[in-house]
Every structure is written in C-alpha cells, then in structure tokens.
Amino acid sequence: MIGGIVKEHRGFTRRGAEALPSRQLLKTQDRRDEELPDNEDRQYRKQGSICPCRKDWFIPIRVIMAIICAGFFAEAAPAIRVMILDGESGGTYHKWQQVTPVLKLELEETGLFQVDVVTAPKWGEDFSAFKPDFGKYQVVVSNYDSPDWPAELKPAFERYMNDGGGFVSVHAADNAFPNWPEYNKMIGIGGWRDRDETSGPYWFFKDGRLVSDAKPGRAGNHGNRVPFQIAIRDTGHPITRGLPPFWMHQGDELYNSLRGPGEHMTVLATAFSDPVNHGTGRNEPILMALSYGKGRVFHTTMGHDINALSCVGFITTFQRGAEWAATGKVTQKVPANFPAANSVSYRTDIAAMDPLYRQGLNGLDAK
C-alpha cells in the first residue's frame, strides 16, 4: 500500500484506489508520473502495474516485517512464583526431605514456574523468625503435615487465600491442622490426627455422584501400596480436560475414609478402595478442585514417596493442578506417555532420585 493506494503486481488482484479522495488521488498520481522515467516505467503505468525497481516502495514492507518479527520475539510471560512449604510430617514414613526436591523439579521442568522452598519449624519449636511472605507467590504447594500453627500465622494465610491466592495440597498435607477450621475448608476433606465425625462427614462417589455419610468414625486409612486405577469424574475441568477416562497410577497409598466440610469442592477423579486391600469398597476422592474466597485449591491425595511421584499421571496432574491454582487456567498438554487404563507409566529419572531406588521396590517398602 502506497499513500492509501493498493495496486497490483503482475498476476495479483487489483483492489482499486478508493482509499483516497479523487482530487488527492490525482495529485498523488501526477507526482509519481513526474518521478518516473519516460520509457520503461511509464509502460508499467499503462499496464496498471507498479515498477518493481522502486526500492523506496519497499520501506513500508520492511517496517511491517519488523513489527511482525517483534511480536514473535516478545518477552516471555513472567514465571509463576511458587512456594513449596515443608518442614514436618506425621512420622518418618513420610520423608518430606526427599519429596520436596522432586516436587520442585517437576514444577521447574515445565518452564512455567519459579520455585522457592520455605521450611517451617516443627510444631513446638521457635516460630518467632518464621514469617513467610505468602503475597510474593501465586501458589503455595504444601508438602507439610503439622498438628498446628501459632495463632498469628493462620490469619495471614487465610487473607492470602481470600485475596485470590493459590494452594496445592499434596498427599499428607491433608493430615495437617485438624483443629484449624479454615484450613479444613480449603482442603475439603482430610484424615488422621484424631479427625472424626466432628470434622465433617465422609465423602465418596456412589452411583455416579458425590455423596456424604455423617456416621461416627475415625478419618483416614489406606491399604498396601499397589497400583490402582483412576477414574476421571469431571472431564471438563481444565486440570483433567484431555486425560483418558481411566488410567493406572503407580504404586501408592490409596487414601480412604477422609472426612471434612466438603464445601465448594469438585471431585475431579476417584479410585476404588478395594476391600481386599483394607479398603472401604467405595470410590474415594483422589483429585479435587476447591474454592476458598477468591482463591483456588488443588488437592491430590497421591504422592506418598518418590516411587509414587515418578508416575506420569501424578506428574501431569500435579503440574496442571499447580498452574490452575495459580492462574485459573491450564496451558500444558497431556504427554504422549500418559498412562493407559490398564498400564502404568513412570519416569525412571524421577524414580532414581530415591536413595533406595537401586535396592528395588522391596527396599522401598522395608524402609
């Protein structure tokens, strides 16, 4: 386009000169005729074409191409800031010191996250210097199971979530804080640490829908660590969209009999708790999405140890769940090696991060 006139090169469609008023068009035309040589260039004008030798006509094209290229090389979106919170577990069977580096690696390898690890004191130790700045982060990932927190810390985290923060509860993080009502609203359901009917009802899937049972009883149990099949219950949620309806999870603890308020909770996936393996005979919640104030929560009960964390199914849902909790959307694709309905898929590079990996699965169980 030159001065608002779009003309044709040979073989291209002419769009006309209606972009300019006729008087301005004639002046522009006369000026160009004066600039053109009398011979060959006027011949091009008679044929309704432009002269290909006019280099100055290509300056606007260079400008346009520069603008287009600038779009391709625009600065990448800033990384999602993540806090991984750790520092305590209910016993030596949950090796948080080994699990945290794996969670950090699995997030950072996506290229989406910048991860800091914040280690809290154990309950009963000095918390005076522990003042986490939750507001620096878009999502907090909890690999942390503590019985309680000092009173001044709880309102800070509640404000963070109410103001739109993100939270990811991994495995035994849903054992933590049994007497902190707001935390239990965030995670929806939890187990152990003396939870019972006062904590809320049991929640599970029956006849294709989420139901609750308020009968008395302790919260939290699991069988031996074996592979089990995951059933997707919400195929439209950003975290689970595109996942196969059924897939096998690597050997892990299948939590059952979890209790809690269950408010604003969507169960994304369940697994059948087999009575043969100390189960309930019910379809127990495994993956959940919740809202708390303006904040978003992703809750996964998977992830007992590095062996479980090496499952491609765990990795994918964890990465996607963290992105959703932070931003409300998921941009990551489902990997080609995602597990199928009757076969597990795990990453040996992740599994090998366990110090006992070379001793085999029996060594993992023995410790």
Residuewise pLDDT in 10s, the chain (367 residues) = 433 333 333 333 333 333 444 444 334 444 444 444 444 444 444 444 444 444 444 445 554 555 554 444 445 689 999 999 999 999 899 999 999 999 999 999 999 999 999 999 999 999 999 999 999 999 999 999 999 999 999 999 999 999 999 999 999 999 999 999 999 999 999 999 999 999 999 999 999 999 999 999 999 999 999 999 999 999 999 999 999 999 999 999 999 999 999 999 999 999 999 999 999 999 999 999 999 999 999 999 999 999 999 999 999 999 999 999 999 999 999 999 999 999 999 999 999 999 988 887 665 554 4
Q: Are residues 65 and 86 in the same domain?
A: no
CATH value at residue 183: 3.40.50.880
How many whole angstroms separate alpha carbon 204 and alpha carbon 270? 8
Q: How many Cα atoms are found within 13 Å in the side-chain-facing hemisphere of 175?
A: 21
Nearest Cα residue to 319 out of 78, 86, 94, 115: 115
Nearest Cα residue to 87 out of 129, 143, 132, 127: 143
Show which of 57, 74, 91 is a domain's final residue. 74
Residue 242 three-state SS: coil
Q: Are residues 342 and 261 in the same domain?
A: yes
**Tokens read off for 79:** 């990384």
Nearest Cα residue to 293 out of 201, 177, 203, 166: 166
Q: Are residues 103 and 35 in the same domain?
A: no
Q: Which domain holds residue 133?
A: 80-364
How many whole angstroms separate alpha carbon 254 and alpha carbon 281? 12
What is the phi/psi pair of residue 17, to 5°?
Answer: -120, 25
How many whole angstroms separate alpha carbon 72 and alpha carbon 195? 54
Q: Are residues 28 and 171 in the same domain?
A: no
Name all contacts of 122-125 with Cβ < 8 Å and 24+ positions apart.
122/87, 122/88, 122/146, 123/88, 123/147, 123/148, 123/149
Sign of torsion over alpha carbons 157, 293, 112, 298: positive
Q: Are residues 119 and 254 in the same domain?
A: yes
On whether the CB atoms of residues 202 and 284 are closer than 8 A, the answer is no
Q: Are residues 167 and 311 in the same domain?
A: yes
DSSP 195-237: --GGG--EEEEETTEEEEE-------B----EEEEEEES-TTS
Predicted pLDDT of residue 259 = 98
Distances (CA, A) of 338 to 109, 111, 192, 333, 344: 17, 19, 32, 11, 8
Show which of 22, 42, 74 is a domain's final residue. 74
Sign of torsion over alpha carbons 320, 323, 326, 328: negative
Nearest Cα residue to 335 out of 305, 315, 309: 315
Predicted pLDDT of residue 362 = 62
Helix (H) or strand (E) holding 204: strand 202-206
Q: Number of folded domains in the chain?
A: 2
How many whole angstroms separate alpha carbon 145 and alpha carbon 350? 23
How many whole angstroms separate alpha carbon 221 and alpha carbon 301? 12
DSSP 54: -
Q: Are residues 43 and 21 in the same domain?
A: yes
Q: Are residues 68 and 217 in the same domain?
A: no
Instruction: Say how many C-beta atoms besides its own lie within 10 A of residue 303's C-beta.
Output: 22
Q: Are residues 45 and 106 in the same domain?
A: no
Show which of 59, 74, 89 is a domain's final residue. 74
Beta strands in 215-264 (DSSP E): 226-232, 246-252
Q: Are residues 29 and 152 in the same domain?
A: no
On whether the CB atoms of residues 167 and 186 are closer than 8 A, the answer is yes
Predicted pLDDT of residue 162 = 98
DSSP 90: S
Predicted pLDDT of residue 61 = 56
On whether the CB atoms of residues 244 and 340 are closer than 8 A, the answer is yes
Q: Are residues 55 and 144 in the same domain?
A: no
Helix (H) or strand (E) holding 61: helix 59-72
On whether the CB atoms of residues 139 and 164 are closer than 8 A, the answer is no
Q: Are residues 55 and 178 in the same domain?
A: no
Q: C-alpha angle with apex 15: 13 to 19, nearest 5 degrees?
A: 165
Predicted pLDDT of residue 361 = 61
Question: What amino acid occupies position 257?
Answer: S
